[in-house]
Amino acid sequence: MPAAISVENLFASYDGKTVLNDVSFSIPRGASFALLGPNGAGKTTLVSILCTLRLPDRGTARISDFDVVRQPTKARETIGVVFQDSSLDDRLSAWENLEFHGLVHGLAPRLRRQRAEDVLALVELTEWSDEIVRSFSGGMRRRLEIARALMHQPTILFLDEPTVGLDPQTRQRIWSYLERLRREQHLTVLTTTHYIEEVESADQVCIIDHGQIIVQGTPADLKAAHGSRWLHVVPRDEATATEIAARYPQVQRLGTALALPVPDDAMADAFLATYRTRLEEIRFQEPTLESVFLSLTGRELRDRADGQRDAQRNAGRRGGQR
Ligand SMILES: Nc1ncnc2c1ncn2[C@@H]1O[C@H](COP(=O)(O)OP(=O)(O)OP(=O)(O)O)[C@@H](O)[C@H]1O
């Protein structure tokens, strides 16, 4: 059976600047696939190409075995898309937004009504059907966008940063919806995110940085192959903290705690033999996807600029809501 999505040697650029650099991957049908990378890594550009909204410079991409350049209409019929920025008409009701999408996709009136009822029920918005979208919370809007993307019964769902700007509780709720939808509707789901904790439950994670795929695998495989163990300690006094920092240059300060990468047991044993009595707290942290990203790129996934950008986005979104 052909893959749901297959990408081979894809290149894209803006104004001569390469933003996708020889990207290749394949996603089996029914899988959940997370594309993880910092802001500017090229995720949106990649999704735009896969959704037939942008042409690649070179390379091929097939969606449900349709070439996105040569068979864009056929490819488009099989996909649903939730864009990074809301594209709902907030002067219309939830039902009217769905109706409009059904019309655009050429669904007959009866099927349109049936689908609108079904997808509203899927995201538990039935009782909000006739409410104007402007009155919806951020989480409800996202759920409605997911419902709208499913109106024409796609087999592949693309979500570009679906939880950005939402509070942690709502983010978690959106993910559990997506997981349930994937199982019940037998969807292939490709999600982009820069929230590392959100990709833990994906079947496959693909890390992208500066337009290049750095690694792809299950979260467990990536952690086993590239993650490092850390030792978190809280020194009893500043003199001890300073001494440890001088002796272990890779140490990271996390408030009052220090985090040391642990390449092997011998390092941990030697460290604890010297400092155990001068530490208030000792805790080992097993490899995480954050440590995978750090060891592959030499950087943390979320830098200050990301945080500022999220804050700006949140402020913008809040401004648009009641
Ligand atoms: N319309 C455009 N014109 C010029 N450069 C662009 C345009 N869109 C994106 N870029 C640049 O292409 C690179 C990749 O951007 P892209 O939006 O694909 O990344 P991303 O990983 O999705 O990040 P984000 O989450 O911030 O959207 C960035 O350097 C960005 O500045």
Domain spans in the chain, listed from the N-terminal domain onward: 5-218, 229-286
41, amino acid identity: A
Check whether domain 5-218 has CATH 3.40.50.970, yes or no: no
The ipTM assigned to this model is 0.94
pLDDT by residue (tens digit) across 80-138? 999 888 889 999 999 999 999 999 999 999 999 999 999 999 888 999 999 999 999 98
Query: Hey, what are 171's tokens?
Result: 């983010």
229-286 topology per CATH: Alpha-Beta Plaits (3.30.70)
Q: Do domains 5-218 and 229-286 have the same CATH topology?
A: no
Q: Give distance in angstroms: CA of 302 to centre of ligand 1.
A: 16
Question: 182: how many CB neighbours lie within 10 A of its CB?
Answer: 17
297, amino acid identity: T
Q: Using most ligand atoms within 8 A of CB, pick from 45, 161, 301 the residue to mutate for ligand 1.
A: 45
Q: Using most ligand atoms within 8 A of CB, pick from 18, 36, 39 the residue to mutate for ligand 1.
A: 39
Q: Give distance in angstroms: CA of 305 to centre of ligand 1.
A: 14
Q: How far apart are CA 88 and CA 29, in angstroms?
A: 28
Q: Taking a C-beta distance cutoff of 8 angstroms, is the pair 285, 279 a contact?
A: no
Sheet with 257-262: list strands edge to edge: 252-254, 257-262, 229-235, 279-285
Phi and psi dihedrals of 291, rounded to 5?
A: -70, -25
More confident: 312 or 68:
68
What is the DSSP secondary structure assignment for residue 132, as one 8-state letter? B
CA angle 44, 143, 321 (to 5 degrees): 85
Q: Give distance in angstroms: CA of 276 to centre of ligand 1.
A: 47
